[in-house]
A and B are shown apart, each in its own frame.
Chain A
């Protein structure tokens, strides 16, 4: 019979229209001691305005260096069931699609071996199984494996890649994000399970510039769909939107950042100067039946975003303006380029230095040289505006001699 905790503070969070995590913890606590002690400890945290977890030592499953986060209560005598409360990151399927059977299998395993609490999903994308004991890690791991699931990344390794729903259910996907995500995850299994990098490395795949997985802000390696040819326009549908009351001039033409659209209100036709179009998606978002990305599609490859720790936040920036990830050969070339980048970063990067910070330290020009990419104007918002140019005289002299 588990202890019964009074939780007046947490009870307040069962009220209101938004679904309540407290109800979830209480549901789990009905037949799980760990979940019950989480409830008790959390109420104490609410009383004291202090957390009660500590980190301590590395835990994991044999042969893997990642995928498990060690966690212990700092009040083990009071809440013995959460004296160990380790979390497993379980690599989610691309696009977070499941069958009910697959979900039930994960539930059954977690019911047997864990707290019965989960996050669907973590902010990186994994299924997060919250809280179990050290000796349970191996059985959970093997039973998950039998059900077809494997652990995700943690520590200084390839973190679990994620992607938007893409071609599965979005007409704007400019490449197959779910396949690219799956293929990359399979290719980097060793790097995902055995941390050997200076720090974490994240991949995120977004099918178009709407970037529904926030890859430009949250992935070291961001692949954002785009197209090279002309926007597809269905002029009959343009007229239908106009007849339906859409203010095409104000809501579409004037909002275009490239000022590259022209609307003929009499004929109800729309014209685009495709050379100037920045592929921002606005017009397509507003008129999805009339406008679509072109058919020569692929992705922009950007590198280097991260949250602020340590040198400040970064957004990813352009490495290659266009790669066609649906073409097997080009996909291989893309992977080779990524390998090259990872090699240089592993070789020269300092511990806990994300690749974006590494590039800031060594200079983008030098990084490009090391990985064998030619500098291109697409890589910068504008050219340098300071005169502190590091001229490489030796090479020039060699050239003169030659």
Chain B
């Protein structure tokens, strides 16, 4: 009999201490200040004078092993074999030798990976799986991100904005990208309830499980032409696709009805103003692959109007707070409609409950 090795379980993640570059291990907790030297490059200076240069590099996030090995090779050549990734999917190469910075830049740029994303710029988009991997997707994720960032790449490689601008995308309202506090959020939406394939539902799904999967209790058992199936109360459905997750006989995706919505003005940082949610700007744009031109131009328009109109330090939400929502809609030319007015619990809190009004000429 073959010898069976004992199974290894519950070891947890590798201890990060084994991965720290020596200069970081040595100056852990002893950093004094940092400076941004040029777009995408910063230096951190320690109390004892040691310096570490960081080059931040854009990545498509969806990576082949070739590219990860390329990163590893760059790390070996210039960074003593160490590197890190950021919370927004960029790669950071850290070196103690300033002369390595242009070399790293050259290598990654030759491979088509931009350097930037530090300071008052647009960094990489947090995003989700889309058609590459998820069953609930109302749109693709990687494709829109690529098209939007192609349009905004000039703001990744420069620091020419009034403040930081964080853009994120989630391909359905489950929001694996948790986009709800972004300066600009792109959110995939289904607009039709699931279609019910009565003929196969009972054969491939467990009806009690299907009913209980619906967060709004919109699904009820029923009988159709003598076969057990379910009913969906359409007014109660908020298109979350949970039912499809447990039952493939309830497809929800619909090429004509699916698309994206755009939200603005959220932030998570506490600097100056408090963290806040993104608010609805554009309720629906149809899916137009491969490059979603209506989405990219809508995002670029918002960025451009903000960039020209905002004061220094104003994130998109801070800017809107100062000029007021009427002027936001006026300046961006985005149409305001019924969808913009909240009708969920506590909706009243979002109504304008004051006579302080900025008068906008709508004609």
Q: Render B79-90 as a binary contact track against A, CB cut-off 8 A, 1 for contact.
A: 001111111010
Q: Taking each of A71, A209, A214, which has the highest tally of chain B beta carbons within 10 Å of its own beta carbon?
A: A214
Inter-chain contact B63/A120, CB cutoff 8 Å: yes
CA distance A53 to B174 in the complex (A): 16
Pull 9 A–B residue pairs with CB atoms less than 8 Å apart, ordered by A: A25-B64, A42-B132, A53-B137, A167-B29, A209-B270, A213-B87, A218-B181, A279-B270, A309-B175
Inter-chain contact A251/B132, CB cutoff 8 Å: no
Confirm or deny: B75 has a beta carbon within 8 angstroms of a beta carbon on chain A: yes
- Complex: chain B residue closest to A216, CB-CB: B275
CA distance A52 to B251 in the complex (A): 11
CA distance A74 to B137 in the complex (A): 14
Complex interface residues of chain B between 137 and 194 (CB less than 8 A to chain A): 137, 140, 142-143, 145-147, 149-150, 153, 156, 173-178, 180-181
Complex interface residues of chain A between 14 and 55 (CB less than 8 A to chain B): 15-25, 27-28, 35, 38, 42, 45-46, 48-55
**Also in contact, A150 and B291, with CB within 8 A (given A19-B59, A171-B31):** no
Residues of A within 8 A of B290 (CB): 9-10, 12-13, 46
Residues of A within 8 A of B89 (CB): 119-121
Number of A-B contacts (CB under 8 A): 345
Q: How far is the CB of A39 from chain B (nearest CB, A)?
A: 10
Confirm or deny: A313 has a beta carbon within 8 angstroms of a beta carbon on chain B: yes
Q: Among the listed stretches A99-107, A340-348, A372-380, A393-401, which one makes contact with chain B, having 4 or more residues with CB under 8 Å of it?
A: A99-107
CA distance A251 to B132 in the complex (A): 45
Inter-chain contact B178/A307, CB cutoff 8 Å: yes
CA distance A254 to B87 in the complex (A): 31
Q: How many residues of B contact A (CB 8 A)?
A: 114
Main secondary structure of the interface of B (DSSP, over half): loop
Which 4 interchain pairs have the tightest Cβ spacing? A16-B150, A100-B72, A209-B270, A145-B8
Confirm or deny: A76 has a beta carbon within 8 angstroms of a beta carbon on chain B: no
Partner of A173, one of B29, B35, B271: B29
Inter-chain contact A169/B94, CB cutoff 8 Å: yes
Q: How far is the CB of A82 from chain B (nearest CB, A)?
A: 10
Inter-chain contact B64/A16, CB cutoff 8 Å: no
Residues of A within 8 A of B133 (CB): 53, 71, 85, 87, 130-131
**Also in contact, A92 and B61, with CB within 8 A (given A49-B255, A211-B270, A282-B272):** no
Inter-chain contact A309/B143, CB cutoff 8 Å: no
Confirm or deny: B245 has a beta carbon within 8 angstroms of a beta carbon on chain A: yes
Inter-chain contact B87/A13, CB cutoff 8 Å: no
Q: How far is the CB of A162 from chain B (nearest CB, A)?
A: 7
Residues of A within 8 A of B176 (CB): 122-123
Partner of A310, one of B72, B140, B150, B215: B215
Q: Taking each of B19, B65, B133, B344, which has the highest tally of chain A beta carbons within 10 Å of its own beta carbon?
A: B65
Partner of A103, one of B5, B12, B71, B137: B71
Inter-chain contact B16/A178, CB cutoff 8 Å: yes
**Also in contact, A164 and B65, with CB within 8 A (given A13-B143, A21-B142, A313-B277):** no
Residues of B within 8 A of A282 (CB): 271-272, 313
Inter-chain contact B135/A18, CB cutoff 8 Å: no
